[in-house]
Structure 1
């Protein structure tokens, strides 16, 4: 019988954790979340308390972590763990070093190998080019049926770097910019596509910097979360975590094709408004202008109104009349609209130019 949050007390959650460890040897966060409706943050607190009590041990990092009781005979999976100076570092040569150390070609499917190489080199290159740090720690590990990596530096921080370069108000606006794709603080040497595509091809992806967390889950469906980190988990610099199944059937080219209209160019994007604004509706013309910033480089823009109950007339007018009239060759698509949102959009489209 599944457990429900309405009847689970804090100790009952801990008992469930210990019971599952006793039964199967180890447990992951996902095992507990499937049987409860508690949040990840609440579950993480339960795990921390059990670790502090000495009742369990933690292996791995973030969502790939698993927990077991002290004394359990847990087989340690192969891993690569080093700290590298970033000056003069070549991300491709570093990946070759990882590949040889872990025999990746014999362990991974061809698709998993290609995806890992792309994601790893993109994230290491970000640390080299943008972090302003002297060094970065790299950890690659095989864990049950997953392959994952973590790249961590103590530099300026990915969100703060974007905030400064684009003169944004805060780091949350930097995340909004990242979600669009094609945004880079170094346009001469970078396309701004790395984090966008790496997060979408992963099974799990997390980007932690200072007090903010951007997480992506691509299991049965694509889902993203933006949240504030607890004080004890705040990261100085940037920590990026990626994982994918060792025998995945995902295809990197198919992902690229989803965001390509013509000529193998990244010219299509998908904006989820619920990630940009957690409460209230998009109302003003200034909010619309912030949303549209940088989107004129795309040929197809999909704006997702999932969970948005309404929008303001000024917002709708700026996006669906003013912007569309200014860029008539851009395909502007609205999806998952409520009746209220649909009405406001249609009204804006049908407004006669003054």
Structure 2
């Protein structure tokens, strides 16, 4: 039933369930109505506003809200004492492992990097999904990365996070926690200083802007299906070369190289996109959401960079005909030299 409800409520808060339940279970309308009534009685569903057809919301089964002082906090203690006991009976073993990995990584980031004093964790679980907010009162992740990595704009910090292997403390951190957490959860979102890095499973990364100002702190939002069977090993293997165990492959969303409404036409924009990708053996440039690129932009990537980094395998995906023409032209010019 958890998978059925997860599918029905995937992108809606209030849903009519009788007809889909009849079809999924092969049962009569009366039987479906009776089953829905039992789920309401057990707290799995809450009656909605619709009557013909009758609609429902998912009922909240678990609700945790806890504040901590960051000084002396240990991430595994938060997980083991406050969150794991609440989730164990609701989740598949695979989903529980994803939650343990993601929650401990995000709390550790707040402890080691935020320079804040307090942490708030809020978790809500229904029969289909579990959601969690983890927020600190520190400097703000995008502002901190921009400052310590000498980036020109906080929006570029989001591009660097999307690539992976980004850390402001390489002695103690690998730069993998945020990257793999964002790929492991169904929905992963970072909000800080009016910017949002948004990743939904099997969809491209997004940068959202909403009223930037002088706000501080970072909030991470995690959402995952309780019945999900996707394993952490599958996520890690997706970004490793065959028979290797290292993080050697990445997918870079080209759209995040744009600052605001600008077009991707210049060599400096290409260099912004290419920063640090020489840390990977295989790089896939994802052009989804990009309508056009300029000659200089394509030439800098597929001729100049590739000539200087022959050990990096550059690939591209989801490029339209105009972009493919620019890529082929740059590669052809490189072959002539």
Aligned counterparts of 2:170 and 2:326: Cα–Cα separation in 1: 36
**Hey, what's the Cα distance between the residues in 2 that align with 1:331 and 1:117?**
33
* Residues 254 and 285, structure 2, Cα contact 8 Å, conserved in 1: yes
Match of 2:22 in 1: none
Q: Is the Cα–Cα contact under 8 Å of residues 80 and 101 in structure 1 kept in the other structure?
A: no
User: In the TM superposition, what are the counterparts of 1:284-299 in structure 2 within 5 Å?
Assistant: 284-299=266-281
Q: 1: distance between equivalents of 2:59 and 2:198?
A: 28
CA contact (8 A) 2:257 2:269 kept: no
Instruction: Name the residue aligned to 1:78.
Output: 62
Q: What is the alpha-carbon distance in structure 2 between the residues aligned to residue 231 and residue 268 of structure 1?
A: 33
How far is 1:247 from its partner?
A: 1.4
Q: Is the 8 A contact 1:28 1:67 kept in 2?
A: no
Confirm or deny: 8 A CA contact 2:255 2:289 kept in the other structure: yes
CA deviation after TM superposition for structure 1 residue 286, in Å:
1.0
Distance 1:342 1:223, change over 3 A: closer
Report matched runs for 1:330-345 at 5 Å: 330-345=312-327
Q: CA deviation at 1:31?
A: 2.3
Deviations 1:22-57 (A, max 9, x none): xxxxx989327999xxxxxxxxxxxxxxxxxxxxxx
Shift of 1:185: 0.8
CA contact (8 A) 2:133 2:221 kept: yes
Instruction: Compute the RMSD of aligned alpha carbons.
Output: 2.9
In structure 1, the partner of 2:160 is 177
The alignment status of 1:226 with 2:210, answered yes or no, reads no
- Which secondary structure does the structure 2 equivalent of 1:152 belong to? strand
Per-residue CA shift, 1:275-295, capped at 9, x if unaligned? 332645311111111111111
Q: Residue 120 of structure 1 corresponds to which residue in structure 2?
A: 103
Alignment of 1:243-282 (within 5 A): 243-261=223-241, 262-277=243-258, 279-282=261-264
- Could you tell me how far apart the structure 2 residues matched to 1:272 and 1:223 are? 7
CA contact (8 A) 1:91 1:121 kept: yes
Is 2:68 aligned against 1:87?
A: no
Shift of 1:236: 2.7
Residue in 1 that maps onto 2:80: 96
Gaps (5+ residues) in structure 2? 1-7, 17-45, 50-55
Moved over 6 A (4+): 32-35, 66-69
**How far is the alpha carbon of 1:310 from its aligned partner?**
2.3
- The 1:67–1:231 alpha-carbon spacing in structure 2 relative to 1, beyond 3 Å, is farther
Matched, 1:305 2:287: yes
Q: Answer whether contact 1:147 1:245 (CA < 8 A) is retained.
A: yes
Unaligned 5+ segments in structure 1 are 1-26, 36-65
Structure 1 counterpart of 2:11: 30
Aligned to 1:52: none
Quote how far apart the aligned CAs of 1:105 are. 2.4
Q: Distance between the aligned counterparts of 1:341 and 1:161, measured in 2? A: 34
Cα distance, 1:256–1:287 mapped onto 2, change above 3 Å: same
Q: Verify: 1:137 aligned to 2:120, yes or no.
A: yes
Distance 1:166 1:245, change over 3 A: same
TM-score by length of 1: 0.75
Kindly indicate whether the alpha-carbon contact (under 8 Å) linking 1:85 and 1:134 is maintained by their aligned counterparts in 2.
yes
Distance 2:171 2:273 in 1: 24
Tell me if the contact between 1:296 and 1:327 (Cα under 8 Å) persists in the aligned partners. Answer: yes
C-alpha change, 1:192 and 1:173, in structure 2 (3 Å) is: same
Which among 217, 238, 241 is matched to residue 218 of structure 2? 238
2: CA distance, partners of 1:154 / 1:167? 22
- Cα distance in 2 between the residues matched to 1:322 and 1:348: 9
* TM-score (normalizing by structure 2): 0.79
> Which residue matches 2:29?
none
In the alignment, the residues of structure 1 paired with residue 114 and residue 308 of structure 2 have an alpha-carbon distance, to the nearest angstrom, of 36
Give how far 1:313 is off: 1.8
Partner SS state of residue 328, structure 1: coil
Compare 235-244 and 126-135 and name the one that shifted more. 235-244
SS of equivalent residue, structure 1 residue 31: coil
Give the total of aligned pairs. 292
Q: Is the 8 A contact 1:208 1:235 kept in 2?
A: no
1:161 aligned residue: 144
Q: Distance in 1 between matches of 2:218 and 2:141?
A: 6
- In 1: Cα distance, 2:122 partner to 2:13 partner: 26
Describe the SS at the equivalent of 2:204. strand
